[in-house]
Amino acid sequence: MTRIAVCSRSFSRHPILRGELIARFPHAEITFNDAGLSLSGAGLIDFVRGHDRAVTALECLDEAFFAALPELKTVGKYGVGLDMIDMAAMRRHGVRLGWTGGVNRRSVTELVVSCAIALLRHVPEGNQLVRDGGWRQFMGRQLTGKTVGIVGCGHIGKDLIQVLKAFDCTMLAHDIRDFPDFYAAHTVRPMGLEELLAASDVVTLHLPHDDSTAGILSARRLALMKPSAILINAARGGLVDEVAMKAMLMDGRLAGAAFDVFNGEPPTDMELLRLPNFLATPHVGGSAEEAVLAMGRAAMDGLERAEVP
């Protein structure tokens, strides 16, 4: 008999995804995370033990996890990030991964556009002013016609480029891979990271977090940005020197920043969070109803169509 462990709390409590999984595997024994536990380490291993398939989201799947679970054959990934999975360990133990990239791309794209407009129009600061009983106009800027630098041109970066065409933006891109046909079709100028930072009115990050990207926006690189520019990170925490960025926001060397992800979550630097030119959201880039359904269905597909990574 097939036995499936659903580690994700949000998948387990989602009535549509839960019902579809049961209907799709009517003869399987399915264990949902009904207790709403944040599973890690030994607790995660104990939860998955005895199951040959698992649905995971943000749980850390490392060497110890795979070594302790020889019965586990397939993981269906709920969500698009893979930085929490030790791929080398997964290969060594012959566990198959079912993963679909980009299923939440429009959800993240729309959040990025909303953050860009909110910062350019001083929406957070204006909202707080009115809430506090004040009333004065803020002179903002339009997104239309701005130069937008997209760092990471994968599924989300490409989707964002297509949406920004409606705003008549000049689009720059930096990626370790080249996409000449896509760039030509959408009038995108590829360039080096530092050149992009210096030229952009809006910089938005769409990178995974790994050894090559950790701290990629260092203090030195942040200093290359225009004082009038804004920075958006709806990708992964750990990409930006948050201390250096805070200093730049405080002394006017950077106009604004919006972060959906942080080096440590939840963030604890209240001085940063209370800055009027900083907009923070609690890692909600993929938290649109449509994206959640797409990610959940992709995870179910992954339980049947998977490969050793």
pLDDT at residue 80 greater than cutoff 90: no
pLDDT band with cut points at 50, 70 and 90 for residue 253: very high
Q: Note the pTM of the prediction, 2 decimals.
A: 0.89
Q: 3-103+288-304 in CATH: which number? A: 3.40.50.720
The pLDDT tens digits of the residues spanning 112-160 come to 999 999 999 999 999 999 999 999 999 999 999 999 999 999 999 999 9
pLDDT of 69 strictly over 90: yes
Q: Give the pLDDT score at 90.
A: 97
pLDDT at residue 81 tops 90: no
Q: Report pLDDT for 1.
A: 86
Mean pLDDT across the chain: 96
Average pLDDT over residues 296-302: 96
Domain ranges of the chain: 3-103+288-304, 105-280
Query: Could you report how far apart the first and last alpha carbons of the chain are, in Å?
Result: 25
- The type of residue at 190 is P
- What is the rounded average pLDDT of the residues 175-185? 96
How many Cβ atoms sit within 10 Å of the Cβ of residue 186? 15
State the Cα–Cα distance between residues 86 and 93, nearest whole angstrom. Answer: 11
Structure tokens at 69: 């679970």
Active site residues: 236, 265, 283
Query: Band of the pLDDT at 274, cuts 50, 70, 90?
Result: very high
Question: Mean per-residue pLDDT for 42-48?
Answer: 97
The predicted model gives 68-94 an average pLDDT of: 95
Closest CA to 65 of 85, 81, 79: 85
Mean pLDDT of 189-194: 98
pLDDT on residue 83: 85
Euclidean distance between CA atoms 4 and 18, whole angstroms: 12
To the question of domain 105-280 being in CATH 3.40.50.720, the answer is: yes
